[in-house]
Structures are given as C-alpha cells and as structure tokens.
Amino acid sequence: MNCSLREEIAQQIELHTYPFLLGLGTVGNLLSIVVLIQMRQHSVYRYLTLMAIADTVLLYIGLLRELLLSSSFHLHIQGTLLCKLHVFFF
C-alpha cells in the first residue's frame, strides 16, 4: 500500500468521522447544559455548565477547523483583527 493511498483513506475517514463527532459532541454538551442549568443549587453545577459551554466552543474551534482543512476548504483571512485572531487560535 503506497503513501498516497493511505493519505486518501485517512482523508476519507476524517471526512466521515469528524461530522459525526461534531454532532455527537454538540448534542451531548447541549444536553449537559440543559440538565445543569436546572440544577443550579450549588456552585459546582455552575462550573460544570461553564465547562460544557467551553467544551462546545473548543469542539467547534478545533474539530471544525480540522474538518475544513481535511476537505480542502481554503479560508482567506482579510483584515488585521481577523488575522490576529486566526494566529491566536490556530
């Protein structure tokens, strides 16, 4: 099996598993947020809610970026603020 075939197989796996993981992670985090918002009796539940929100944000920043890169989607950054944010996050 040559290298280009392995890369093609890896790219196809990424294109099919990343959207599944993105959807599953989003649904799981949203369900956690809904349940934890109803249980705001202790401060621990607030921290867990914020952790679920941060996990969702990180999921979209990291996994969505990898999905876009593996699908050969090219994002052109225009403007100094967006360029600095892109360098900061990625």
Q: pLDDT grade, residue 89 (50/70/90)?
A: low
- What residue spans define the domains of the chain? 3-89
* Predicted TM-score (pTM) of this structure: 0.69
Q: Is the dihedral of CA 58, 60, 61, 66 positive or negative?
A: positive
**pLDDT tens for each residue of 6-61:** 888 877 887 888 889 889 999 999 999 999 988 878 888 889 999 999 999 988 88
Angle of helix 43-70 relative to helix 3-38, nearest 10 degrees? 160
Q: Name the more confident of 73 and 24.
A: 24
Q: Name the more confident of 85 and 22.
A: 22
Q: Are 23 and 64 in contact (CB under 8 A)?
A: no
User: What is the structure's pLDDT at 49?
Assistant: 92
